[in-house]
Amino acid sequence: MTRTVQLSEEAYAKITQAKRVGESYSQVVMRLLGKEDPRSLFGAVPLRPDFDEVMRKMREAESRRQKEIWG
């Protein structure tokens, strides 16, 4: 069964950014909702100020790796 949902432009942009090559939007939601935000695991320990940028670069590298493997 499928469902139709409405997302704000901001939410759509974020889920699209998180989407990996060959991954459906349903798979993105299931992958992301099954994990706790890693930032919440550190409590009061300050994180790198560029944490989000580092994560973005890691996702891009993963996407390139997937393209190399699967074409």
pLDDT, one tens digit per residue, over 26-59 is 888 888 887 656 555 555 556 678 888 888 899 9
**Tokens 């798979």 map to which residue?**
27
User: pTM of this prediction?
Assistant: 0.45
Cα dihedral sign, 41-22-71-57: negative
Give residue 66's pLDDT.
85
Give residue 49's pLDDT.
80
Question: Which H or E run includes 67?
Answer: helix 51-70
Quote the tokens at residue 14: 């974020």
pLDDT tens-digit profile of 2-30? 888 898 999 899 889 999 888 888 888 88
Residue 4, Cβ neighbours under 10 Å: how many?
4
